[in-house]
Structure 1
Amino acid sequence: MFEILTVCTGNICRSPLAEQLIRMRLAPLPVRVRSAGTYWLENEPMTPEAVRLAAGFGVPAEDSAAHRSHHLTEQDLVSPDLVLTMTRGHQRDVAALAPSIARSTFPVREFARLSATLTDDELQDAARSAGADAAVRGRGVVAAIASRREEVPPAADLDDDVADPFGQGWAAYQHSAAQLEPAVDEVVRALHFALS
């Protein structure tokens, strides 16, 4: 089973939306998707605006209703094969807790930007050459995308961030989702080759 962890600040807007979209779009492939937040907020529901966005993307209402925020701990970083953060700041927070997984931790928009430089054939080759098991193939794809960090010029810090809409109204949520959804689509494209 390939494991993905999505990370934002409070785990009530961006990371649960990313979690639910990735899970839904990769179903029924062998993937486990969870989310957590870097700010100490525990057992809170998604904001109504995030629930509304999720519903608009086709996420079942019961999935969003069941979500409760979880504060990121070192234990959460033991098993994920891929950590997708919403900002570079969150990426630094993850690295501070678990330096050993830095190579498989990306702001979600960075992952998408780097993945987009690889063709379908290159992603398939990376998956096939890694091995037969789906999780191993997934790690092969993540490694191929991570290797692009050395070849693709970095974006400005904010260019890889998904804007935090919390407390800013519906337009901010729509803007945040417009940054997040295309990145999720690219994550799904890249991992589909490994996990199917």
Structure 2
Amino acid sequence: MIVLDRGIARLVVHGANLLAMRESRSDRHSQLGAGMLNIIAVCTGNICRSPLAEILLASHLADLDVRLSSAGTRARDGMEVTPETASIALSLGAPKARIERHRARFLTNDVLGSADLGLALSREHRRQIVEMDPTFMRKTFTARELARLLEDISNEELLGAAASAADTSAPSSRFSAMLSVVASRRGTVIPPAAEDDDVIDPYRRSPRTYELSAAQLTASLPAVERLARLAFAL
């Protein structure tokens, strides 16, 4: 009979669970289809920043096969967006019905799922996503970080990466290849200040802070749209 040290036994069990979780995610990704992109925005309460990102991106990418979702690292399930967020979303042209049906979700492994992009609203959210699943290291960025890193990358370079993807006919594969190029810029393109990669949290703060937060976010979203459209540019 083989007797395992308890510590080793725990590692074996953890490894088996992690493998099963990743296989399950791979199965879900296959079910969604390689032709679909899956993007999840993550903030703290999932009632201000991340739902605004989800709702606006859903409007901007409505013509593409992209699934947008959001969650919060400390969210209380079922909460609606704040009135300030709803007002801002409406002013930016988001459909009222989409805003009203949003309900906050707590971020879990299952919610994170097999997303092609983890769009964090701050460095702390990025850290929490990667701690939850280390495989997200090269496909999780803060919204402002992604925009900053993409500034000096041409469409030609991104399309070149997409052309070398494992499956050049699958938008998700092309998207992943382009994200690898973006991730490779980390450490070479430094923000003036670390907090410049964060979208400020407006919760329970002034209307002016809500406006500043929305401005920081909306300035970053074209970078996500750019990558998504290039992924589908077959």
- The alignment's TM-score, normalised by the length of structure 1, stands at 0.95
Match of 2:128 in 1: 93
Please point out which of 211, 218, 234 is paired with 1:174: 211
Q: Secondary structure at the match of 2:126?
A: helix
Percent sequence identity is 41
* Structure of higher CA gyration radius: 2
The alpha-carbon distance between structure 1 residues 155 and 94, as it changes in their structure 2 partners (threshold 3 A), is farther
Q: Which runs of 5+ in 1 are unaligned?
A: none
Q: Secondary structure at the match of 1:70?
A: coil
Alignment of 1:133-144 (within 5 A): 133-144=170-181
Residue 154 (structure 1) shift: 5.1
Alignment of 1:1-196 (within 5 A): 1-130=36-165, 131-153=168-190, 156-196=193-233
1:104-148 deviations in Å (ceiling 9; x for gaps): 111111011111121122222222322111111111221111111
> CA separation in 2, counterparts of 1:161 and 1:10?
15
Q: Secondary structure at the match of 1:41?
A: coil
Residue 2 (structure 1) shift: 0.9
Q: 1:7·1:36 contact (CA, 8 Å) conserved in 2? A: yes
Q: 2:120·2:140 contact (CA, 8 Å) conserved in 1? A: yes
Q: 2:126·2:140 contact (CA, 8 Å) conserved in 1? A: yes
1:151-175 deviations in Å (ceiling 9; x for gaps): 3235532110000001112111100
Task: Note the aligned Cα RMSD (angstroms).
Answer: 1.3
Which runs of at least 4 in structure 1 moved beyond 4 Å after TM superposition? none
Q: 1:7·1:38 contact (CA, 8 Å) conserved in 2? A: yes
Q: Secondary structure at the match of 2:186?
A: helix
Residue 99 (structure 1) shift: 1.4
Q: Secondary structure at the match of 2:68?
A: strand
Q: 1:111·1:145 contact (CA, 8 Å) conserved in 2? A: yes
Q: Which runs of 5+ in 2 are unaligned?
A: 1-35
> CA separation in 2, counterparts of 1:195 and 1:57?
25
Residues paired across the two proteins, number: 196
> CA separation in 1, counterparts of 2:201 and 2:145?
16
Q: 2:75·2:104 contact (CA, 8 Å) conserved in 1? A: no
Q: Secondary structure at the match of 2:184?
A: helix
Match of 2:23 in 1: none
